[in-house]
Amino acid sequence: MKIGIKILISLTALGFLFWGCGENGEPQKDEIHNEQSTVVTLSDESIKQIDLKTDTVKLSPFTGYLIIPATVISNQDGEAYVGSLVHGRVHSVMTKIGDYVSAGEILMYVEGLEIGELKSGYLKAKANYDFAKADYERHRVLLEQNIGSKQTFYIAEAEYQKAYAEFQAEDKRIHSVGLTDEDLINENDKEDHTSGTLPIKSPISGVVVERNVVIGQFVDGTTTAFKIINTNSVWVDGQIYEKDLLKIKKTPNVVFTSSTYGDEKFNGKIIYIGQTVDQKSRTITVRGEFNNSSQKLKQQMFGELKIPVGANEKAILINEEAVVTEPGGEYVFVETNINATGGGRTFEQRIIITGTTIGKMVEVKEGLKPGETIAVNGVFYLKSDLKKDELEGDEH
């Protein structure tokens, strides 16, 4: 029994000796492996064989573009839904889908008793107002000539003020439903019937893209009869990552391109930057406004939005060939030592955080400092040698 206990104690001691002495500050075996796996040393012969080239990290002028996917959408300032504000029946329709209409052009006529009552009320109020105004003017002249009395003048003045107020109220009522003074003296309204017709006009110039009424249909204030879009100006929406938000200064001019038109460029300006970040994509909406008098840009057309960034700024820019991208992140090889005695050069794997790509140059936001030296050509060999060390370490 005592012999068994001694054997167990001996095995336990050997186990601690094998795995290292962490308490004495000595690195354990796993720690040694991890430290070695981030460093690669090349001999002078290897440097020549792989044609190793390095570059010194420095701050460079940072002026480039953010290029993001974008979609053409309609300019909401150029959209209009048109309908009747009063209850009635569609008497006639003057336009169809695809027609270009000008602001003020009649789209359809609606007739109904309510329209006739509105016109009748306006005409009565106007007649009373005209009569009261003439009577007031007559009594004012008589009073100035010392012929009329003040009492009759004050009565005429009161009637005039009352008639004016009633006329203003009726005038606002007819204009609120779209009628104008010219509509009230239309020859069609001289017919001997109690109904009236209301011309429904386009509030903007544009193309009719929706028509939802036919002759004889009853409509009211909830009916959308037409939709009109003016496409002389369009919006283009894109999404930028929140990390790039501070790169956009004020409201820069932007360029939109689409594969539909090859290399043709459309110039616009940023008019809106979103105030919220999408929780899933971590992006923010950027909207540009573009002149579209050529009518080439169509709704839902896809393309790319080029946004100038970094004007008059500096940043660390390195050649994209120096960056190794793997599922775990991105890294470069930084030279840490030149072996003066035995020759060769040593490089360390360094994790970096990149930003904007400008041509063949990549912005490095974290991980490098100006003055450090990084490998540019021969990175593939350094990566392979690093992986070989890791595999050999795993076998042990």
Q: Which residues contact 98 (CB under 8 A, 6 or more apart)?
A: 207, 208
Q: What is the DSSP string of 25-73?
A: TPPPHHHHHHHHTTEEEE-HHHHHHTT-EEEE--EEE--EEEEEEEEEE
Domain ranges of the chain: 36-62+314-395, 65-75+232-309, 78-229
Q: What local confidence, expressed as pLDDT, does residue 193 receive?
A: 43
Q: Return the closest-CA partner of residue 206 out of 98, 306, 281.
A: 98
Distance CA 396, CA 286 (A): 54
Q: What local confidence, expressed as pLDDT, does residue 187 receive?
A: 44
356 close to 348: Cβ distance less than 8 angstroms: no
| 116, 123, 174, 217 from 171: Cα distances, Å | 14, 9, 6, 28
CATH architecture of 65-75+232-309: Beta Barrel (2.40)
82 close to 205: Cβ distance less than 8 angstroms: no
Q: How far is CA 370 from the centre of its chain?
A: 36
3-state SS track over 251-320: CCEEEEECHHHCCCCEEEEEEEECCCCCCCCCEEEEEEEEECCCCCCCCCCEEEEEEEECCCCEEEEEEH
**Model confidence over 173-224: pLDDT tens digits?**
888 887 777 766 654 444 444 458 889 999 999 999 999 999 999 999 899 9
Strands 88-93 and 218-219: antiparallel
Q: What local confidence, expressed as pLDDT, does residue 357 receive?
A: 74
- The kind and range of the H/E element at 240 are strand 233-241
Task: Say whether domain 78-229 belongs to CATH 1.10.10.60.
Answer: no
Q: What local confidence, expressed as pLDDT, does residue 341 receive?
A: 55
Q: Return the closest-CA partner of residue 297 out of 123, 104, 73, 100.
A: 73
What type of residue is 316? Answer: I
Q: What local confidence, expressed as pLDDT, does residue 55 receive?
A: 94
Residues of the chain with pLDDT under 70: 1-37, 183-195, 250-251, 310-312, 337-343, 389-396
Q: What local confidence, expressed as pLDDT, does residue 311 receive?
A: 62
Q: What local confidence, expressed as pLDDT, does residue 113 receive?
A: 84
Distance CA 137, CA 148 (A): 12
User: What is 36-62+314-395's CATH number?
Assistant: 2.40.420.20
- Identify the burial level of 393 via C-beta atoms within 10 angstroms of its C-beta, where 0-12 means exposed, 13-18 middle and 19 or more buried: middle
Query: Would you give the DSSP letter of residue 384?
Result: H
Helix axes 113-144, 150-176, angle to 10 degrees: 150
